[in-house]
Structures are given as C-alpha cells and as structure tokens.
Amino acid sequence: MRYFITDDDPAIRAMLAELIEDEDLGEVVGEANDGALLDADTLNLKKVDILMIDLLMPIRDGIETMRLISPDFNGKVIMISQVESKGLIGEAYSLGIEYFILKPINRLEVINIIQKVKERIMLQQSIEDIQKSLNVLAGNTGIKREPFYKEKSIGTTGQILLSDLGMVGEVGSKDLLEILEFLDEQEKGGSFEYPFPPLKDIFLHIARRRLGPEATAGDLQKEVKASEQRIRRAILQALNHLASLGLTDYSNPKFETYASRFFDFTEVRKKMMELESEETSPNPSRIHTKKFIQVLYLEAKQLMG
C-alpha cells in the first residue's frame, strides 16, 4: 500500500511514517504540511492508496481539501484530528472518508484502522479481478473497461458494506444486493418513490424478477415471505456482529460508524448485554428492516462517490 500523510505537525507526520514502516504496512510516498499543497492529480500520479489527512490545518483544512479532491482521487482517506465535534465528523464521513482517528494518536488504533482500510481495498481489487476474468470468459476482451473505482457499481459498494457488517456469508445478503440494484435502477430511471418506496413493493418487484411473469400470486407471496425471513436473519447477524465489536472495543471504528446508523442503539446495547451475560433475552431484538435497507442504500450510494 502507498500512503500520503498531510498534517501541519511534523511530529505527527514522522510518527505515522515510522509506524507504517515499522509495522510493514506499506510505503509513505509523500507528505505535506497543509491541504493547500494537495490535489487529486498529484495523489493519483503517485498512485496513493491511502491518504491520511488532518482535519484542522492553517490554510486549507481537511474538510475543504476533501471537497476539492474527492471527485477525482482514487484512493481511500483516513482523517485525523483533536476535534470531537459530531457535526464535523459527520461532514467528513459524508465526503467519503473511511475512518476518523482522534488525537492523541494511539498506535494500536492506527494499526487496526489501517488494516481495515487495507482489507477493504483488497476486497475491491479481488472483485475487480473477478470482473476482468468474467469479461475474458464472455469474450469481451476487446471492450475497454474503466478501472474498478470508476465503475461505480452499487453491487460492489453494497458487497463492501455487507462485509463490514459481517453479513457476507448470510443467504439474505444476496436478497439485499438485489434490492440495492433494483433501487438504483429505479432512481436512475426516474421512477424512484421519495422519500423511499414501500417495503412491500420492493419485495414484490424482487419476487417477480426471480420467478418471472408466469408466477402466480400465491407463488409471489411465498417468495416475498421467504425473502423477508432471509433478510431478517441477515440483519440479526449484522446486529450480533456489531454488538460483538462494541463489546470487545467500544471505540472500534466499524462499531462507531455503523451501530447507530443501521440500528436503534438501545437494541445494540441490549444485544451487547446479552452477549456479555451469555443469556438470551426473553424479548427478541426489534429489527427495522426498512430502516436498515434505507441506510444500506444511502451508504452504498455514498461509497460510489
């Protein structure tokens, strides 16, 4: 992996560079002391995989820099700051950063976060390789294809999110990916119902796609119910996964990023207490399927850039 570090504190830059080198995490290919010295062309020319950038800098801060480079920068971004403002952190995430590291820097936290970002990059590269192999098998070798990060596939970004949520092995993850693709098609076709289509309509459309035009009303209803159950089990797995992460490390980046976005936090806390006590609660976890799908769709669209 190739890194570029931007921070107005030379001690921080030196610390991060040394950590990356000592832990054999990759190569630091450049540094800057202000966002004003950054542009997407330079980062892409240096083939930067991960940009580590400070939030507050004297001339151009991390937020403004992200606004300028995010449309064209091909790598991932980790932001660093002493500021704990939820508003600024939320804005940073909305601009596409992967994780937020608070100062003073904790060595183990930085290593953990870098490893997570590396895993995401490697997953994207694996999917790209699969896509290339499929093109060769299909005889499409003469067609010029843009690099993976230009394809902006909601199926790919959805797969990344499902991986982060610990759901990839669940049968219902396939249903969720089909729903994401359907919603993306609806929005691109101008038939998307705002603020969000009724859940029953979404499931019915997916069932019709699977079973074909000859399916009876009874067959469609059975498939809708089966799909709902598969998705519910997958969402429960995501809840378990996030609760496990929070129980192990409350400051885990994935826990902080996803737990309160995808679930009511009271449910997450209840699940954490269940796992801690190793006793099943008499009251089953409340799953809001529509909220989960809404958030998954919006997050996947955001990852597409």
Distance CA 32, CA 30 (A): 7
219 DSSP 8-state letter: H
Look at the pTM and tell me if it is higher than 0.85: no
CA angle 250, 255, 261 (to 5 degrees): 130
The whole-angstrom distance between residue 166's C-alpha and the CA centroid of its chain comes to 12
Closest CA to 8 of 34, 30, 38: 34
pLDDT at 131: 67
Q: Which CATH architecture does the domain made up of 2-120 adopt?
A: 3-Layer(aba) Sandwich (3.40)
Residue whose structure tokens are 């269940």:
274
pLDDT at 146: 43
pLDDT at 116: 86
How buried is 250 (Cβ within 10 angstroms: 0-12 exposed, 13-18 middle, 19+ buried)? exposed
How buried is 100 (Cβ within 10 angstroms: 0-12 exposed, 13-18 middle, 19+ buried)? buried
Averaged pLDDT in 10-residue chunks for the chain of 305 residues = 92 93 91 89 88 92 90 89 76 81 88 88 77 63 43 79 82 92 87 78 92 91 94 93 84 84 90 82 81 92 79
pLDDT at 229: 94
pLDDT at 225: 95
Distance CA 36, CA 28 (A): 19
The answer to whether 251 and 275 are in contact (CB under 8 A) is no
pLDDT at 254: 82
Distance CA 296, CA 302 (A): 10
Locate CATH 3.40.50.2300 in the chain: 2-120
Question: And the tokens for 133?
Answer: 């192999």
The answer to whether 84 and 102 are in contact (CB under 8 A) is yes
